[in-house]
Amino acid sequence: MNRVYLDNSATTAVDPRVIEAMMPYFGERYGNASSLHSFGHEALEAVSIGRKQVATFLGATPKEVYFTAGGTESDNMALQGVAYARKEEGNHIITSSIEHPAVLETCAFLETVGFEVTYLPVDTTGRVLPSTLEAAMTERTTLVSIMHANNEIGTTQDIRDLARVAHDHGALFHTDAVQSAGKLPLDVESLGVDLLSLSGHKIHGPKGIGALYVREGTPIKPVVYGGGHERGLRSSTENVPGIVGVGMACELAHTYLDVDISLMNQMRDALIEGISDTIPQAVLNGHPTERLCNNVNMSFAGVEGEALILSLDRAGIAASTGSACSSKTSKASHVLLAIGLDQALALGSLRLTLSRMNTMEDIAYTIEKLPAMVARFRAMSPLWKEE
């Protein structure tokens, strides 16, 4: 049976070159980067190469890069760190209603300890309008956090314009670039951001490692206290193999960015076209053009997304749905509801996300299998009416 992996926004395969670079640091080069002997020097050298690779990828300087345990921790560090550091200047934070839970739940926590959070609405394509942000800014706003690209619908934001609005009002700007890394150019100067979150496992690197870019001079407090690693901002012995891995993943993403984007663009467009041509009333969620090169998110009326995922899995195709499932309830995605989908259509969504490791054969196989599955579910659905 074919095995086709189209869930690259959940995680990606680790690139063999990344594995090769990491291996020695699980074996003979096991030193602690803080140790004074040669084992320590070897580890420290590896950490500083990894930091340079991440910095080059972002157009930053190495001292502006802090390693974390992943995208979630980077988001927590950015939001909590700046909120507390600027507490005397104001207690207002602005974010969007379609952020990842790593941001939304951190904001919910900050609300319990005296901060006020505004959750900006988005338009029907998932875009945050700079004018909406402008209207929400207050004298007490210290931080704005808006994701570069959405993990469910792939809509990308004009970060430069949004950051300018924040700066005009004296606020700092953070962006979660976990999904845009490797799919859009990420230059902190042209984006104009003060903080930016990255995660290793979304860019063919290992899990459990991420980075936070913090522009030099940005006020920020640690959320993890201890031995003072990462210049006091994130204590804990450095994850040397992880740092080597995320460094190499960034280097590869940087080197092959244009080739990768054009390959994924082609596959994405073929997938959207193939599905639209073969499945009646397939609706593309998100922005038609301002979207990630690797994201296809479509809703099929009369179909239950989770049942479709299981059916696809039986055909060897790994995909995901926008709805989160707990044992008793199927909850529609907050992102799909925020762009105006009704509950039923939100529960009938399918997310197919690509990477540079996919092929046109994967796309053809998916287009071959999907229409019959959708037709079968619709034939059984009392809700389905062909228009």
Size of residue set near ligand PLP by CB under 6 A: 14
Stretch that binds ligand PLP, among 16-24, 41-49, 64-72, 114-122 (CB under 6 A): 64-72
From 107, 250, 293, 325, the catalytic residue: 325
- Comparing CB distances to ligand PLP, the nearer of 142 and 151 is 151
Stretch that binds ligand PLP, among 118-126, 171-179, 239-247, 283-291 (CB under 6 A): 171-179
Cβ-proximal residue to ligand PLP, closest one: 71
Residue from the set 12, 141, 175, 199 that interacts with ligand PLP by CB under 6 A:
199
- Comparing CB distances to ligand PLP, the nearer of 147 and 332 is 147
Closest CA to 243 of 372, 378, 55: 55
Nearest distance in Å: CB 340, ligand PLP: 21
Q: What share of the chain is helix, strand, coil (3-state, %, to 5)?
A: 45, 15, 40
Q: Taking CB under 6 A as the rule, does residue 179 contact ligand PLP?
A: yes
CA distance 75 to 86: 17
Burial class (CB in 10 A: 0-12, 13-18, 19+), 125: middle
β-bridge mates for residue 364, sequence order: none
Nearest distance in Å: CB 19, ligand PLP: 18
Nearest distance in Å: CB 373, ligand PLP: 26
Ramachandran category for residue 316: left, alpha or beta (phi over 0 → left; psi -120 to 50 → alpha): left
- Comparing CB distances to ligand PLP, the nearer of 208 and 340 is 208
Q: Taking CB under 6 A as the rule, does residue 322 contact ligand PLP?
A: no
Q: Phi then psi for 331, rounded to 5 degrees? A: -105, 135
- Comparing CB distances to ligand PLP, the nearer of 279 and 336 is 336
Chain positions 111 to 150 lying near ligand PLP, rule: CB under 6 A, are 147
Nearest distance in Å: CB 177, ligand PLP: 8
- Contact present, 244 and 25 (Cβ < 8 Å): yes
CA dist list (Å): 376 to 100, 118, 242, 366:
33, 43, 44, 16
Q: Taking CB under 6 A as the rule, does residue 210 contact ligand PLP?
A: yes
Nearest distance in Å: CB 88, ligand PLP: 29
Q: Taking CB under 6 A as the rule, does residue 71 contact ligand PLP?
A: yes
Stretch that binds ligand PLP, among 106-114, 173-181, 272-280, 341-349 (CB under 6 A): 173-181
Dihedral of the alpha carbons of 181, 297, 164, 176, in degrees to the nearest 10: -40
Q: CA geometry: angle at 336 spanning 309 and 184, to 5°?
A: 85
Measured in residues, the chain has a length of 387
Q: Is 250 an active-site residue?
A: no
Nearest distance in Å: CB 193, ligand PLP: 15
- Comparing CB distances to ligand PLP, the nearer of 79 and 370 is 79
Stretch that binds ligand PLP, among 69-77, 90-98, 227-235, 282-290 (CB under 6 A): 69-77
CB atoms within 10 A of CB 210: 27
Stretch that binds ligand PLP, among 67-75, 218-226, 264-272, 317-325 (CB under 6 A): 67-75
Q: Taking CB under 6 A as the rule, does residue 178 contact ligand PLP?
A: yes
**Per-residue DSSP letter, 128:** P
Closest CA to 85 of 118, 117, 110, 112: 110
Residue from the set 86, 92, 100, 204 that interacts with ligand PLP by CB under 6 A:
100
CA dist list (Å): 167 to 59, 138, 194:
20, 12, 10
- Give the sheet arrangement for strand 195-199, strand by strand: 65-68, 210-214, 195-199, 172-176, 141-145, 92-96, 116-120
- Comparing CB distances to ligand PLP, the nearer of 70 and 302 is 70
Q: Taking CB under 6 A as the rule, does residue 81 contact ligand PLP?
A: no
Q: Taking CB under 6 A as the rule, does residue 7 contact ligand PLP?
A: no
Residue 28's SS3 state is coil
Q: Which residues are catalytic?
A: 325
Site residues, ligand PLP (CB under 6 A): 70-72, 75, 100, 102, 147, 151, 176, 178-179, 199, 201, 210
